[in-house]
Structure formats: structure tokens, C-alpha cells
Amino acid sequence: MNEPTIKKLRQMRLDGMVAAWQEQQGDSGCAHLTFDDRFGMIVDAEFLHRDNARLARALKEARLKIPGACVENIDYSVSRALDRAVVRQLATSHWAHDRQSILICGATGTGKTYLACALAEKACRHGFRAIYSRASRLFEELRLAHADGTYVKVLSRLSRMDVLVIDDFAICPVTDAQRRDLLEILEDRYDARSTIITSQLKPSHWHDYLADPTLADAICDRLLHHSHRLMLEGPSRRKERLAENQ
């Protein structure tokens, strides 16, 4: 009777239970377990299978620049001045639950992108949806959306993401259209979703960078309020790796 049962389980998309049941059939040690114990193990296997599938979908959707980034592998070298306790607290993803933002600043090559991707990956593990984009590509996507009439649709998609990672913010001069687009994105997310921003420019200089007093006030207010700030120091890690490989 096993084959019809397995067929029904697969039709109900309970592949985790099928795999666990078949594993038990080949494990003589399971014969000494009670029915409740064996059934509990099968249910646990299905739960884990579904959770792993959900995480795989979330990470695929997130399109993180560094897919392998994780908080467990963050480097806490003294030169980086990165507070382990602060990162440990952020690794709980309470900031995403509380709809707070994270601002990561530092010179080029100090690991801003890795840290942002690691925190976004951890948020995905905790059940949140995330998406990554470099600031330049995000602005280009919005420019094209204006042109083809999908602007509202793109904004709506971004607003549904629990975590939006904007990498390399404030590298290039910003246009009036980009300032307005950024404000639209942040307005949708303020007190509703979380945003991670990396930048070589310190937040104290963002107002001057935006160069429009009215829009700069609105943008900075939404970015700097309820935000965690991380400042990375030390030499460029890219240059260090290059030197090691030579």
C-alpha cells in the first residue's frame, strides 16, 4: 500500500514527508520508535522542506549582489571598527519587524555591500522579503518606467518588499527626477517597510548632496529617522585581497 500513499502525498505536494517516510523505511532503528515519534519526525521533515523552499525562493527574488553573504562570516577585524554586539542585535532582524532602516557608510572596498547583503539574507531567513539594487540601476529602472508607463507598477512592487537594499548611494550627481523618485520610494516605505542603504558619503553630508533644500529635507527625514548607522573603517579589502593574490 505504500505506492498509492506516496502518490497521494506527492499530489498534495508533501515531498518532505515522502522523503522522510522513505528514509524511515530503510532505517532499522526507526522500528523501535512509537508511531507518534515517527509521525512527528515526518512532520518536522515536511516543515523543514517547506522552509528551505521558501528561503530559496526569497533569495532568488532578492537578487543579492553577494549571494553567499551571511552574518556568520562577517569579519570583525579591529581595523574595521565594527561592533560585534550591534551586528548581533541586527542579526535578529528586529529592525525589519519594527520597520527601521540601516545606513552603512565607509570608504570604497571596506565591505559595505557584503554587510548589507548579509543582513538582507538574514532577514530572508526570518521570513521577510528583500530585494537588492544599486542606486544607479534603480534610478535607471525608474526612468524607463516613466517612459513606458509602468512607473506606478514598479513603485508598487518596491513598496511590497519588506527590505529594500540600495547600494552605492550618492556616488554620482543626482538629477531632479531622481530626487523625486527617491522621495516617492521612501514615502511608500516610511514606517511601513525597511531600507538598507550603503554609501561612501556620510549621512551628515546627504542633505548637501541632494542639493534641493525642500526635497533634501523630506528625503533625509525619512532616511535618518528610526535608522541604525554603521560606519566601516580600515583599508580597502579589495586591495588587500589583490595584494595577497600577487
The three cell numbers of residue 218 are: 523630506
pLDDT given for residue 3 in this prediction: 85
In this prediction the pTM is 0.85
Tell me if 91 sits within 8 A of 119, measured CB to CB.
Answer: yes
Question: How many CA atoms does the CB half-sphere of 105 hold within 13 Å?
Answer: 15
The CA distance from 42 to 203, in Å, is: 51
Q: How many other CB atoms are found less than 10 A from the CB of residue 147?
A: 9
**What is the arrangement of strands in the sheet containing 101-106, beginning at the earlier edge strand?**
130-134, 163-169, 194-199, 101-106, 227-232
User: Which neighbouring-strand residues pair with 227?
Assistant: 101
**Mean predicted confidence (pLDDT) in 164-174:** 96
What are the DSSP E strand ranges found in 135-211? 163-169, 194-199
Domains of the chain: 2-60 (no CATH), 63-235 (3.40.50.300)
What's the pLDDT tens digit per position in 58-104?
A: 999 999 999 999 999 999 988 888 999 999 999 999 999 999 999 99
Q: Which DSSP category does 31 fall into? A: G
Per cent of the chain over pLDDT 90 is 73
